[in-house]
Amino acid sequence: MMTSVSEGQHSIFSCRPVTAQDFEIISTFPRSEQELFFISPKLRFPLTASQLEELAKERRCPTVLVCDGQVSGYANFYNVEEDKCWLGNFIISPEYRGKGGAEFLIRHMLRLAREELKVQELHLICHNINTRALLFYTGIGFKPYDVGSRTAHQGSTIAGIHMKITV
């Protein structure tokens, strides 16, 4: 499924299924070990295309955001159940952050969850130290409902805040 829209200052966003060539581009998005941990605790810095490709084999609907012809975001689903699924590996390229693409990609993933996976809720985990993401997710309607302890990339303990939204 591909969707597109005109946003902001003449930027064109669209979403499409990921291709093998996209993983090389996506692997450049995380700029630090901490940022990569926010995307997935399973991945190791520096991120490689092969790590992403292997993880995508376990996921559903791996999707890229395209802005002005450039791959600029990525997301997928995991732990798909009868009534819910989890958003995973959500990231926007540093060059495209703050331009509306993150919300566009989330809205597209909500549509996929509803129409393709036939679930009623989309869940995610956001780490307490990722303030920008927490504010973003709550701003578009995700509600916190649980907190779990997680070991961060350098061994410190942080909170994984479980959030959900009705699709």
Q: What is the span of the domain harbouring residue 15?
A: 3-166
The enclosing domain of 117 has a CATH number of 3.40.630.30
Q: What whole-number distance in Å separates Cα of residue 149 and Cα of residue 71?
A: 33
The DSSP call for residue 22 is H
Cα atoms in the 13 Å half-sphere on the side-chain side of 47: 28
Could you tell me what percent of the chain has a pLDDT over 90? 89
Global pTM reads: 0.92
Q: Could you give the residue ranges of the DSSP H alpha helices within 19-158?
A: 22-26, 33-39, 49-56, 101-115, 131-139
- CA angle 75/48/28 to nearest 5° reads 65
How many domains does the chain contain in total? 1
pLDDT in tens, 48-63: 999 999 999 999 999 9
Q: Could you give the residue ranges of the DSSP H alpha helices within 40-149?
A: 49-56, 101-115, 131-139
